[in-house]
């Protein structure tokens, strides 16, 4: 994977492959995201480049599928406007998209949570209703138990040692997640990463959904994460009703919030351990802690 992603690199790539945009100003977009680097290109465009090995292939996927899915979705999503090719300078495909105004829901929190709950529910219904024939598998489209991969017990032990949770309570909740029935219907589309950093707000209201790097097909339970990363006990039922999913899928969504929250809090937070990230990510860690602290009491 190419490194050294900066404004100079983006200017060279744009000048070589999209000369009609070569005169536009380039400036980095601050983000806590781990997969892609983003740069404003003029006022109306954004350049998106993978910065992690695991993000390889995300741009091509977005370029192929977003134009097909976007017309059916009730919220604005990024529109691909240019597919950049790999070069000696940068060894992965990259993309140019239309810029969507607004701030992410971490930096500028949603204040109208009832509106967000219903809009996110409608968004999920529309996405799942789209034809999924030929769609790639989402990295979160399988069972949460498969994603966990053995990391959850270590995360629970570390967070318990730090005095943040009761290990027996967390592991009992995880046992209940393990016992849930699996998705037994045809795969459907899911965004795969509906975290606050990938939701845009304007004047306190949800205004757009971005970053479809996790887009794919499978079990839609992971797309219920906003119930515990964004919403409150009072607005969670609105999202549940608007999502039109069965009780087992909702419970698997809670399992995602529990597992993703615990493991990500441990990995990106300030709890030391052999499997933690070399560089902490306080934003992701804070979102993760909210996820598991909102989800765990519901198991009682």
Residue of 89, 108, 94 lying closest to 30 (CA atoms): 108
pTM (2 d.p.)? 0.94
From first to last of the 300 residues of the chain, give the pLDDT tens digit.
445 799 999 999 999 999 999 999 999 998 878 889 999 999 999 999 998 787 788 999 999 999 999 999 999 999 999 999 999 999 999 999 999 999 999 999 999 999 999 999 999 999 999 999 999 999 999 998 887 768 899 999 999 999 999 999 999 999 999 999 999 999 999 999 999 999 999 999 999 999 999 999 999 999 999 999 999 999 999 999 999 999 999 999 999 999 999 999 999 998 877 788 888 899 999 999 999 999 999 998
Look up residue 150 and give its two tokens: 């053995």
Q: How far is the C-alpha of 200 from the C-alpha of 184, rounded, in Å?
A: 32
First to last CA, the chain: 45
With contact defined as beta carbons under 8 Å apart, do 36 and 46 qualify? no
Beta strands in the chain (DSSP E): 26-28, 36-41, 45-50, 80-84, 94-98, 103-104, 188-190, 199-202, 205-209, 216-218
- Please say whether the dihedral angle defined by the alpha carbons of residues 127, 216, 30 and 253, taken in this order, is positive or negative: positive
With contact defined as beta carbons under 8 Å apart, do 202 and 168 qualify? no
Look up residue 224 and give its two tokens: 């219920």
| Residues of the chain by 3-state class (helix, strand, coil), percent to 5 | 45, 15, 40
Q: How far is the C-alpha of 103 from the C-alpha of 57, rounded, in Å?
A: 26
Q: How far is the C-alpha of 290 from the C-alpha of 282, rounded, in Å?
A: 12
């Amino acid at each position: 994977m190419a490194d050294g992603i900066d404004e100079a690199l983006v200017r060279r790539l744009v000048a070589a492959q999209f000369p009609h945009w070569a005169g536009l100003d380039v400036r980095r977009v601050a983000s806590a995201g781990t997969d892609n680097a983003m740069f404003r290109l003029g006022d109306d465009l954004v350049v998106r480049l993978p910065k992690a090995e695991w993000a390889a292939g995300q741009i091509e996927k977005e370029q192929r599928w977003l134009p097909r899915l976007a017309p059916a979705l009730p919220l604005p999503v990024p529109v691909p406007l240019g597919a950049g090719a790999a070069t000696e300078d940068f060894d992965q495909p990259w993309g140019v998209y239309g810029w969507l105004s607004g701030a992410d829901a971490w930096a500028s929190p949603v204040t109208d949570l009832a509106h967000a709950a219903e809009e996110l529910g409608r968004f999920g219904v529309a996405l799942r209703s789209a034809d999924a024939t030929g769609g790639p598998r989402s990295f979160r489209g399988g069972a949460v138990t498969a994603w966990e991969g053995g990391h959850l017990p270590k995360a629970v032990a570390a967070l318990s040692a730090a005095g943040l949770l009761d290990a027996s309570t967390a592991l009992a909740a995880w046992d209940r997640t393990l016992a849930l029935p699996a998705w037994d219907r045809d795969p459907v589309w899911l965004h795969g990463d509906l975290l606050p950093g990938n939701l845009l707000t304007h004047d306190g209201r949800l205004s757009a959904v971005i970053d479809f790097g996790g887009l794919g097909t499978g079990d839609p339970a992971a797309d219920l994460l906003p119930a515990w990363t964004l919403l409150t006990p009072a607005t969670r039922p609105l999202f549940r009703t608007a999502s039109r999913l069965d009780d087992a899928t909702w419970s698997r969504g809670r399992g995602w919030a529990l597992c993703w929250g615990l493991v990500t809090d441990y990995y990106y937070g300030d709890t030391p351990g052999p499997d933690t990230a070399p560089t902490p990510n306080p934003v992701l860690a804070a979102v993760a802690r909210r996820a598991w602290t909102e989800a765990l009491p519901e198991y009682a």
